[in-house]
Amino acid sequence: MNIKFVVVGKLKEKYFKQGIAEYAKRLSRFCKFSIVEVPDEKAPESLSQAQMDQVMQAEGDRILDKIKDREYVFALAILGKERSSEEFAEELKDLTTYGHSDITFVIGGSLGLAPEVLKRANTQISFGRFTLPHQLMRLVLTEQVYRAFMINEGSPYHK
């Protein structure tokens, strides 16, 4: 199984990198795990709606370039479906059972995801209505993917 994150922007904070590296190491016994960073679009602080759309479009094109047709795509979106850790674990297990061995998660930039990316996604997932920095979201998502594998294995990690 291949798990890939396609994310906008570079991760600069050492403590996030360390946390993600730890979970990536743990995930290596379950899957091939990778993170693909695409550049964020430089933009001034205050943007018109047209400029925001332009930024999301540029980032969206970069994201879509990194996704292959066969990949099952989860887009992280505030308006996506919330799941419990158990439901998420079950969903991942079902995907692999039914032949989806390439699973991709997309984390957009500060403005969110372009409509084309949301349309390409097989499903949208939400971690609640909180706004979280996308750097932190990478760590949270990595841990939740690891947790899903541990739940499916029947490990006490989840308790």
Per domain, the residue ranges of the chain are 2-42+51-158
State the fold for domain 2-42+51-158.
Alpha/beta knot (3.40.1280)
Q: How far apart are CA 148 and CA 158, in angstroms?
A: 9
Q: Give the pLDDT of residue 62.
A: 98
Sheet of 102-107, strand order: 32-38, 2-8, 102-107, 72-82, 123-126
Residue 154 has what DSSP assignment? T
pLDDT band at residue 129 under the 50/70/90 scheme: confident
44-90: pLDDT as tens digits: 788 899 999 999 999 999 999 999 999 999 999 989 999 999 999 99
Q: Give the pLDDT of residue 45.
A: 82
Average pLDDT, rounded, for the chain: 95
Q: Give the pLDDT of residue 50.
A: 93
Bigger pLDDT: 15 vs 129: 15
Instruction: Say whether pLDDT at 159 is over 80.
Output: no
The response to whether 108 counts as a known ligand-binding position is yes
Of 88, 70, 71, 75, nearest in space to 145 by CA = 88
Mean pLDDT in residue range 25-48? 94
Instruction: Say whether pLDDT at 158 is over 80.
Output: no
Q: Give the pLDDT of residue 43.
A: 81
The response to whether 112 counts as a known ligand-binding position is no
Q: How far apart are CA 25 and CA 75, in angstroms?
A: 23
85-125: pLDDT as tens digits: 999 999 999 999 999 999 999 999 989 999 999 999 999 99
**What's the CA angle centered on 125, arms 16 and 83, to 5 degrees?**
100
Q: Give the pLDDT of residue 70.
A: 96
Using CA atoms in the order 135, 108, 122, 67, what is the torsion angle rounded to 10 degrees?
-90
